[in-house]
């Protein structure tokens, strides 16, 4: 995607990476529509930053349908969807009550949500001369963090979904760009923003913006810090990567 001149919808931009990216993209001359569940935060973002906002719960098919219709009606030139909304849960798979509820929520939010969002926007995007679907996976798509099995699995699925949909849409105007964050200092897990080993949010988004600007056709946005996880199998040190990853604080690894 080009770094400016787009109309971009980011469901999952009320905090963290989504909000930081929304602010940077707006500063670069894009129209950015912010989505999320927290209406008071949406109102504050509209007031303080002039964003157009929409309430959306990406676990709810009806909410996706109504929010997408509203966004498309108000912004007929919308050409970028960033499927940012995501959750992470620590699970214990020794007993069903240690993981099943969380696993269902994680799959519904992190995998079914982006699939439904793409379905809601795919015709709109194909009607634009230059359009992009930005998916959001994780370094954990490529090396497992022991305490978050469902999260890792959904992010691996997002990676493969991105690879596959990109191939299928090669005959259209729609590109697929996968953002692959390492551990970033947000509240994805409670307390993660204070982790000394998470990449500071501003530094992460600076690097992401630089990569988009210099590699507008990149399939994956890979900041330096994620390459340790992303390329373990390629380098041949996967076992070492998994061991190192799981010997650190879980906040350090999402």
Please give the residue ranges that form the binding site for ligand NAP (CB under 6 A).
11-18, 36-38, 41, 56-59, 84-88, 109, 136, 138, 181, 183-184, 186-188, 254
Tokens of 195: 């982790």
- Rounded to a whole number of angstroms, the minimum distance from the CB of residue 42 to ligand NAP is 7
- Rounded to a whole number of angstroms, the minimum distance from the CB of residue 113 to ligand NAP is 6
Q: What is the DSSP letter of 200?
A: P
In this complex, which beta carbon is closest to ligand NAP, that of residue 12 or of residue 232?
A: 12
In this complex, which beta carbon is closest to ligand NAP, that of residue 87 or of residue 120?
A: 87
Q: What is the chain's alpha carbon radius of gyration, rounded to the nearest angstrom?
A: 17
In this complex, which beta carbon is closest to ligand NAP, that of residue 41 or of residue 72?
A: 41
- Rounded to a whole number of angstroms, the minimum distance from the CB of residue 252 to ligand NAP is 9
Say if CB 209 and CB 216 are below 8 A apart. no
In this complex, which beta carbon is closest to ligand NAP, that of residue 37 or of residue 166?
A: 37
- Rounded to a whole number of angstroms, the minimum distance from the CB of residue 173 to ligand NAP is 25
Say if CB 122 and CB 173 are below 8 A apart. no
- Residues designated catalytic: 151
Name, in order, each residue with C-beta under 8 angstroms of 109's C-beta and a sequence gap of 6 or more: 58, 59, 85, 86, 87
The span from the CA of 123 to the CA of 118, in Å, is 9
Name, in order, each residue with C-beta under 8 angstroms of 74's C-beta and a sequence gap of 6 or more: 33, 52
Tokens of 141: 């798509």
């Amino acid at each position: 995607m080009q770094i400016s001149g787009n109309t971009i919808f980011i469901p999952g931009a009320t905090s963290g990476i989504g909000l930081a990216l929304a602010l940077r993209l707006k500063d670069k001359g894009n129209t950015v529509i912010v989505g999320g569940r927290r209406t008071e935060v949406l109102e504050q973002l509209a007031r303080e930053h002039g964003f157009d906002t929409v309430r959306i719960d990406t676990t709810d098919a009806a909410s996706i349908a109504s929010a997408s219709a509203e966004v498309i009606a108000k912004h007929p030139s919308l050409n970028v969807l960033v499927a940012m909304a995501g959750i992470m849960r620590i699970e214990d798979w020794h007993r069903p009550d240690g993981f099943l509820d969380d696993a269902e929520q994680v799959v519904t939010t992190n995998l079914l949500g982006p699939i439904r969002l793409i379905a809601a926007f795919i015709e709109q995007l194909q009607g634009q001369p230059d359009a992009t679907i930005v998916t959001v996976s994780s370094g954990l798509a490529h090396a497992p963090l022991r305490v978050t099995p469902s999260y890792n699995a959904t992010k691996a699925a997002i990676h493969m979904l991105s690879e596959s949909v990109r191939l299928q849409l090669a005959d259209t105007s729609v590109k697929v760009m996968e953002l692959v964050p390492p551990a970033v200092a947000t509240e994805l897990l409670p307390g993660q923003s204070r982790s000394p080993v998470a990449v500071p949010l501003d530094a992460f988004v600076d690097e992401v913006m630089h990569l988009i600007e210099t590699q507008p056709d990149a399939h994956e946005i890979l900041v330096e810090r994620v390459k340790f996880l992303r390329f373990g199998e390629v380098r041949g040190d996967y076992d070492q990567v998994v061991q190192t990853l799981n010997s650190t604080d879980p906040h350090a690894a999402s």
